[in-house]
Every structure is written in C-alpha cells, then in structure tokens.
DNA sequence: AATAGCCCCAACCGCGCTTCT
DNA sequence: GAGAAGCGCGGTTGGGGCTAT
C-alpha cells in the first residue's frame, strides 16, 4: 500500500515535534485512549486543555472568548506520526536512561533467538521501545559484540565465521560456475533456524515446543544451538507457539509463551508485557498523576519546556464530555470514530 | 575559537498484513 | 472477492550534539 493516504494531504508537518504538539497529543491519548490513529490529528487539538476550558465556558453560556478563539486547529500531523510519537516518546511507561547490563544481555540473547524482530525483543524489555532497542543495537551492541570477537549477525565467534568464509570461498571456486549459471548468491540468513518437532496434539504442541525451545536456547555453549540436520523456520515455530488464537500473528507470540519466558527473564519483566498491551482510558487515568510527574521531570531534565503537572482539563473533563457528540462534531467539523 | 568528522537517536519511509466497505 | 483504509514493523535518514584537530 505504501504511503498513508493521510500523508498525502497538505498541511502535514514533518520533523521534530514541538512542545505544543506533544501536549495536544498527550492530552488526547490520556483522555481518549489509544485507537484510531487516523483521527488523532483532528481530535488531538480539539481536546487540548485550553480548549476544554473554552468549551466549559461555552456550555455555561458565559463565553469569555469570542467565536474566533473558540476554534482551535488539530495537530497537523498524520496519524502514523502521532502513533510513533506516542509509542517512542510520550507513553507513560517508558523507561529513560542507559540500558542496564541485564537489559543488554537480554537484548543480545533475544537477538540471537529472534534476529531483527525488534518489536518482539522490545516486548520482553519493560519500558523500552523497538526503536530504542534497534538504535542501541546498531550503535552500541554490534560494536561490543565485535570487540568480544562475536559476529553480531550470527552470534558466532568471528574466527568461526572467518573459517566458514574461507571454506565458502574454496567451495565457491569449485561451484562458482554453477552459482553463476543459476544466478544464485549465497545469502546469510540473520534469523536462526532451529529444529522443533511438530506434535499433532494441540496441547502437547505447546509443551513440546516449550521444552525444545528451552533445550535449544538454554544458555549452553553458543555453538550447540544451530547444529541440527532437519531445520524448520524458527519464526514459524514461534508462531505455532501462539496457535491458541489462530488470528494471532508473529508479533504476538510472546503472549502465549509468557509463563515460560517468565522463568527465563523473571516475573517483573513479564508482568509488564501483559500490562503494557492494555491501554484504555481507564488505565491511562489511573496513571495520570504519575505520568504528568514523569513527563514533567523528563522535560525538566531535558531543559526543554514545562507542562503543568496537573492541567485544568482534568477537572473539567466530565463537564466537557456532557456536550453532545453531534454538537461537537458539527462545531469542530470532525467525525468521531 | 572554528570546523570537520563521527555518533546517536528521533522521525520518516515503504512494505506487508489485517480489517473494513 | 476486490479494493481501500488503517496499523505495525523494520530499514533508513538526517539533524543535532559531541569530540578531535
């Protein structure tokens, strides 16, 4: 499909987010929860704190603002950009600061298992985003691994890789003509392959696969993991683990193996996994105080801009939402999801 | 102090998949 | 069933900060 249709429209801002845009988006998500990103740009500005105050006075028919100031434009961003900004920066459960040694080890271990499936790796690291982990991997961890003599793509010792390449070269010199004829190129697959026995029984499948998963990935010698003769796609195997819900895709497999992973990564981390998937207005409301404090501190740390720790909109929300949906739709020329 | 080069990371882009009409 | 719309993911880019010269 390519580019989002909303991105083709005019007046779409790009680049860094301003404090005002952040506030609009943040207020909107806190109030309405996550969902229907395409409508967020329109609604976000409309439900910002300042406008809610205006609506309040409007409802009371004591408008201290004239009709021109009543109208406030929404975010001039595409929904996709809003989603990204929320996930990578504004989300209240985000952890800031350097990666701990434990996190670093977890990333390396998971990368060995999953390859570049950053979102899945991120789901095992509380408060970290896929983007953050991806950046950290590319900027730091790759180097660290190379310094330790480990190839970051295969997680094998560099000496072994070099030996393999030497062997490949020798082999290629013999079979190069055949490769050339078939237009084939030896490609290194960054996603490791494992052997997982398939069971017919659906319940046993989980148990069996978990067992093999552990057997294969328990921290034994690195070289022992990838030396099986009959191989299947590891991604498919992980998808199978989540077979209880046939609609589930590969990005959700961690939900079903959560209990198993707990034993590997610890309770605390895995609890977050289930919690972090739930983002409703109610949940957001519960975290509201903490969130504002968190953001405020962060913005102070960054020496950027102050956001009121408790904005006026919080006290007016009920009043504001007593305004009829139709009235708001026609007033602001928007459609609610 | 000026500047060139490097590095990090926020944000964008394009694609695949799912859901909706 | 087909096409459109929307979402999520991984790869890539470019701007800003830091460091070396």
Summarize pLDDT for A305-315 with one digit per residue, the tens.
Answer: 333 222 222 32
Owner of token pair 């209240």 = A92
Q: Is the CB of A147 under 7 A from strand B?
A: no
Residues 104-123 of A with CB under 7 A from strand C: 116-120
Are A149 and A159 in contact by the 8 Å Cβ rule? The answer is yes
- Beta carbons within 8 Å of A16's beta carbon, 6+ residues apart: none
Q: Is the CB of A95 under 7 A from strand B?
A: no
Distance A139 CA to B4 C1' (A): 21
pLDDT at A59: 36
Distance A205 CA to B5 C1' (A): 54
pLDDT at A282: 42
* Nucleotide nearest residue A116, measured CA to C1': C10
For strand C, give the nucleotides within 7 A of a protein CB: 5-12, 15
pLDDT at A28: 79
pLDDT at A46: 56
List A232's β-bridge partners, or say none.
A194
List A157's β-bridge partners, or say none.
A150
pLDDT at A174: 60
pLDDT beneath 50: ranges in chain A: 1-10, 48-73, 176-325, 328, 331-332, 334-337
H-run or E-run covering A153: none
Owner of token pair 């062997």 = A167
For strand B, give the nucleotides within 7 A of a protein CB: 7-19
- A233 three-class SS: strand
* Nucleotide nearest residue A117, measured CA to C1': C10
Distance A265 CA to C1 C1' (A): 45
Q: Is the pTM of this model over 0.75?
A: no
- What confidence tens digit (pLDDT) does each residue in A249-302 have? 333 333 333 333 444 444 444 333 333 333 344 444 444 444 444 444 444 443
Q: Is the CB of A276 under 7 A from strand C?
A: no
pLDDT at A173: 60
């Amino acid at each position: 499909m390519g580019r989002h249709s909303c991105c083709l429209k005019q007046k779409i801002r790009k680049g860094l987010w301003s404090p005002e845009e952040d506030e609009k988006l943040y207020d909107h998500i806190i109030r309405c929860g996550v969902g229907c990103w395409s409508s967020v740009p329109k609604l976000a500005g409309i439900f910002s704190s300042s406008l809610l105050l205006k609506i309040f006075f409007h409802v009371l028919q004591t408008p201290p603002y004239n009709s021109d100031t009543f109208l406030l434009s929404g975010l001039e961003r595409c929904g996709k950009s809003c989603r990204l900004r929320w996930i990578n920066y504004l989300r209240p459960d985000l952890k800031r600061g350097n990666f701990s040694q434990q996190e670093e080890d977890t990333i390396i271990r998971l990368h060995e298992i999953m390859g570049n499936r950053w979102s899945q790796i991120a789901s095992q690291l509380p408060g970290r985003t896929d983007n953050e982990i991806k950046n950290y991997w590319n900027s730091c961890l790759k180097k660290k691994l190379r310094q330790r003599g480990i190839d970051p793509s295969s997680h094998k010792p560099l000496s072994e890789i070099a030996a393999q390449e030497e062997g490949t070269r020798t082999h290629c010199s013999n079979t190069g003509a055949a490769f050339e004829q078939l237009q084939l190129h030896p490609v290194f697959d960054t996603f490791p392959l494992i052997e997982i026995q398939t069971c017919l029984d659906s319940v046993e499948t989980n148990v069996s696969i978990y067992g093999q998963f552990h057997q294969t990935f328990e921290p034994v010698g690195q070289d022992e993991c990838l030396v099986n003769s009959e191989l299947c796609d590891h991604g498919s195997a992980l998808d199978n683990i989540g077979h209880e819900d046939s609609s589930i895709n590969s990005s959700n497999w961690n939900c079903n193996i959560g209990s198993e992973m707990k034993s590997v990564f610890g309770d605390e981390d895995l609890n977050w996994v289930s919690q972090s998937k739930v983002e409703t207005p109610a949940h957001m409301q519960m975290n509201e105080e903490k969130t504002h404090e968190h953001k405020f501190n962060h913005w102070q740390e960054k020496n950027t801009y102050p956001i009121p720790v408790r904005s006026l909109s919080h006290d007016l929300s009920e009043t504001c939402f007593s305004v009829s949906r139709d009235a708001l739709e026609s007033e602001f020329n928007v459609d609610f999801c």
